[in-house]
Amino acid sequence: MSGTTNALLQIEGLSAGYGEAVVLNDVSLSLGEGETLALLGRNGTGKTTLINTLAGATRQHGGRILLGGQPLHTLPAYRRAAAGVGWVPQERNIFKSLTVHENLTAVARPGRWTPARVYEMFPRLAERKGNLGTQLSGGEQQMLAVGRALVLNPRLVLLDEPLEGLAPIIVEELLRAIRRLTRDEGLTAIIVEQHPQAILAISDRAAVLDHGSVVHRGAAAELLAQPALLDRLLGLAR
């Protein structure tokens, strides 16, 4: 990963889990400003647990998380958004009883990402401004979840399987938007995904988890260029 001294995000010796159960063991990673990390691994290896731990939604047993040099791990979950963490959880968690527009304005904070820019990025949402969360398709809910994280104007965005369960045409649309965010807008992000090739292609860095530990870290392009290594790391037979 990038040099640890000027990294935006530093994760050091992190152990975390649920209750007494420890899922993550001694995870250390760092990410520079404007970089995207593809977080890969087989099912149940701890990817969501790592994202949730960064967001403050698990029991942390040890280690440190620093964002811009400031400790994040000492803050309760509700203060991590204000500290600069935009979290798009697997369940999306949009406010279903609010309209699309209300979902965005309810959480917006000053900065370059405004609801208008989110609508420009996701024209489907602009068309559905006045619709309630309950009236949205899965893909529209996912776009709204991403938009809601953006209007927080976070320093770091956590995307947990943003493409999961979506129709291929929507996957293409979201991938285009995420590519724009990571490549053109310089967003700093961690993306968990089951489609490794698609995500590696738009990421700078890659990390692979197995049994709650980091078993590989390096440049995304290098891993993309080594499909046999990628298959081995993900436990796929060739």
**Which chain residues interact with ligand ATP by CB under 6 A?**
18, 21, 23, 41, 43-49
Mark out the alpha helices in 70-167 (DSSP H runs): 77-82, 100-107, 115-121, 123-127, 138-150
Give, for 227, the enclosing helix (H) or strand (E).
Answer: helix 227-233
| Identity of the residue, 46 or 139, whose beta carbon is nearer to ligand ATP in the bound complex | 46
The answer to whether the beta carbons of residues 171 and 163 sit under 8 Å apart is yes
Q: Which residues pair with residue 209 across a beta bridge?
A: 214
Q: Which is nearer to ligand ATP, 46 or 115 (CB)?
A: 46
Cβ-based nearer residue to ligand ATP, 19 or 110: 19
The Cα angle at residue 44 between residues 52 and 12, in degrees rounded to 5: 45
Smaller CB distance to ligand ATP: residue 46 or 84?
A: 46
Query: Whole-number minimum distance, CB 8 to ligand ATP, in Å?
Result: 23
Minimum distance from CB of 228 to ligand ATP (Å)? 22
Minimum Å distance from CB 17 to ligand ATP?
A: 7
- Angle formed by the axes of helices 138-150 and 168-179, nearest 10°: 10
Backbone angles phi, psi at 29, to 5 degrees: -150, 155
Taking the complex as a whole, how short is the minimal distance between the CB of residue 46 and ligand ATP, in angstroms?
Answer: 4
CB of 45 to ligand ATP, least distance (A): 4
| Spatial separation of the C-alpha atoms in residues 145 and 20, rounded to whole Å | 31
Q: Which residue, 44 or 69, is less far from ligand ATP as judged by CB?
A: 44
66-69 long-range contacts, CB within 8 A, separation 24+: 66/9, 66/10, 66/12, 67/8, 67/9, 67/155, 67/156, 68/8, 68/155
Nearest-approach distance from CB 168 to ligand ATP, in angstroms: 20
CB 25 within 8 Å of CB 16: no
Closer CB to ligand ATP, residue 23 or residue 223? 23
